[in-house]
Structure 1
Amino acid sequence: MTLPAHDTRVTYPAGSLAERATVLHVQPAGEGLVAVVTDVTAFHPVDAAWPDQPADAGAIILADGTQLPIRDAVVAASDGTALHLGADVPVRKGTEGWAFLVAHLVDAGSAIAEGDEVEITAEATARRALSAGHTACHAASLALNLALEGRWSKPARTDALGRPDFDGIAIASSRIEPNGSLDRYRLNKSLRRAGFDVAGLADELGALGETISATVGEWVAAGSPVRIDRDGDGLTDRRYWVAELPGGAASIACGGTHVGSLAELGRVEVALELVDDGGTPVLEMRTRTGA
């Protein structure tokens, strides 16, 4: 068994939806699936370390035209002796001596083998919906930081626009959805000790949601362009979401996919809610777009 020694080359950051590829490795993946690793892919996988954006939908097309539906795609890793999939990857992404790979999961028994020349395709409508949701999520996070700026009584690390980074400091989880997102922020003791004031927040959620929506709406109306800057084409090469906002360019490290302009989002609505998580208050921000 030969395992890839280099990271998968990925083209989805540039917006690609299809890529000719060579199959490098095939192995059982449990639950009636096999994992297929190729040298290059246009298919966005889910990363177990931060599973915010789901995998693309699509297929592997064999040389004879047979289409193998891709049931899921996950980040995998190999040290040359074994391939570890998804949550079973034992090291941090980018660890020296390991190759980080995109594993496409297809039905067991599929007629695919190492050395096959295939085409990997991602479904355009599903990709665009997730890309719109992810772009809206980043824009809303910056607008959230702006709306909450006055609640900090101590200096805090700043975001891409130079404001206290509530999103980066308090975030517990993020889930990208078609044309939307759900972010959860823990309002715990450490956040309050850092200088964030939670007093009266529950009474202001409606107004805050309207303020955030209005801010994002201004950026949408300005047609702010969005691009992905990247250090390279390998799976673990650093990538950055960059938006040219009216107040300046904002750059956020991100491995997901995005639309090319905030104008593509249409109307963006942001709603906030306070919930309880085992005694800790959690602020939920739900974003919806008209894309």
Structure 2
Amino acid sequence: MTLPAIDTIITYPDGATSSTGTVLHVEPITDERSAVILDTTAFHPVDTAWPDQPADRGTLTTSSGRLPIVDAVTGGIHDGILHLGADLPVRLGTNGWTFVVAHIVAGPPPVTGEAARVDVDRGYRAALSAAHTACHLAALALDAALASAWTKAAPTDALGNPAFDALAIQRSRIQPHRSTDTYRIGKSLRRKGFTPAALADPSAVAERVNDQLAGWLAAGGAVRIHRDDDSLSARRTWECELSTGHTNIPCGGTHIQDITELSDITTSLTTRDIDGGLELNMETVTTAT
């Protein structure tokens, strides 16, 4: 079968939870599962390079019937070979590659050329979107709370605070209405001027983070995803109009449209000693209005 020659068009950055497209390719994975590639989709896949937000849940419907989408991953095509998920060896946007959303379906797969409708579980998407927006806000609030912990000039975030989150983040995981971010404070960060003693009392830092979050929520602020075009490989940026300024963070996930959609964001911080430094974990829980 001929593999797609252009990137998948994605509509989820604009909040879409349903779409209609054409089946371009079906790749068998096991006897029971196949990867279905459409020209257009509203279905958010797991990003291979930074798998913080899980795939949407939902269904794919064609004239042959409705199939559950059990997973969705980013894929890349090069020299006529399709690489899926963890087997994708390059980042999105790499020249010479075509990038696609692969919908993993269970059951008899659709036929190439068929029209296909994707329907996303709206409640699950909304819970992930709320958590992802809250995660970004918590990261910015953590930067602000630790601004005095630096002894040298450091790269800054969009609000002008030393970018602790960007410099120390190791992994981030989004779940419905909550997220977990893990940071490493080692030799590299200390050489950049960060003072680990600033985290001697994590609860005090969390209190400052939560105070900042409460102020932002009370003021409200529009949220949007900026992107140059509609292709999967296009660079996407989360932007938010906060009471303390305009901010942006590179992000391929989904989000709410205004922080007034959140009634509460609460973080908690814990630390533990690790080989060569300190690990900080930030748990963020949010409630939607």
Specify if TM > 0.5: yes
Provide closer, same or farther for how the CA distance between residues 29 and 276 of structure 1 changes in structure 2, counting only shifts above 3 A.
farther
Tell me the residue number matched to 1:150. 148
Tell me the residue number matched to 2:165. 167
Tell me the residue number matched to 1:36. 36
Q: CA deviation at 1:232?
A: 0.6
For each residue in 1:71-109, what CA deviation from the matched residue of structure 2 results, as whole angstroms up to 9, or x when unmatched? 0000000014111100101222211111000000011x4
**Is this contact kept in 1: 2:21–2:115, CA < 8 A?**
yes
Tell me the residue number matched to 1:139. 137
Tell me the residue number matched to 2:202. 205
Tell me the residue number matched to 1:14. 14
Letter in 2 for 1:87: A
Alpha-carbon distance between aligned partners in 2 of 1:32 and 1:161, rounded to the nearest angstrom: 49
Match of 1:239 among 236, 240, 249: 236
Provide closer, same or farther for how the CA distance between residues 264 and 36 of structure 1 changes in structure 2, counting only shifts above 3 A.
same
Q: CA deviation at 1:287?
A: 0.3
Q: CA deviation at 1:277?
A: 4.0
Alpha-carbon distance between aligned partners in 1 of 2:81 and 2:145, rounded to the nearest angstrom: 48
For each residue in 1:196-238, what CA deviation from the matched residue of structure 2 results, as whole angstroms up to 9, or x when unmatched? 0012523x21111111111111111112111111111000111
Aligned-residue CA RMSD in angstroms? 1.3
Structure 1: stretches of 5+ with no match in the other structure: none
Alpha-carbon distance between aligned partners in 2 of 1:272 and 1:285, rounded to the nearest angstrom: 5
For each residue in 1:30-72, what CA deviation from the matched residue of structure 2 results, as whole angstroms up to 9, or x when unmatched? 47321000000000000121100000000101125x2201000
Please, what TM-score do these two structures have when normalized by structure 2? 0.97
Tell me the residue number matched to 2:71. 72
What does residue range 21-60 of structure 1 map to in structure 2 within 5 Å?
A: 21-30=21-30, 32-60=32-60
Q: CA deviation at 1:117?
A: 0.5
Aligned length: 288
**Is this contact kept in 1: 2:44–2:56, CA < 8 A?**
yes
Alpha-carbon distance between aligned partners in 1 of 2:124 and 2:49, rounded to the nearest angstrom: 23
Which stretches of structure 1, 4 residues or more, deviate above 4 A after TM superposition? none
**Is this contact kept in 1: 2:9–2:41, CA < 8 A?**
yes
Letter in 2 for 1:284: N
**Is this contact kept in 2: 1:5–1:80, CA < 8 A?**
no
Match of 1:114 among 108, 112, 115: 112
* Percent of aligned pairs with the same amino acid: 50
Alpha-carbon distance between aligned partners in 2 of 1:170 and 1:63, rounded to the nearest angstrom: 49
Alpha-carbon distance between aligned partners in 2 of 1:5 and 1:38, rounded to the nearest angstrom: 12
**Is this contact kept in 2: 1:4–1:80, CA < 8 A?**
no
Structure 2: stretches of 5+ with no match in the other structure: none
Tell me the residue number matched to 1:96. 95
Provide closer, same or farther for how the CA distance between residues 200 and 228 of structure 1 changes in structure 2, counting only shifts above 3 A.
closer
Q: CA deviation at 1:280?
A: 3.5
Q: CA deviation at 1:118?
A: 0.9
Tell me the residue number matched to 1:184. 182
**Is this contact kept in 2: 1:133–1:176, CA < 8 A?**
yes
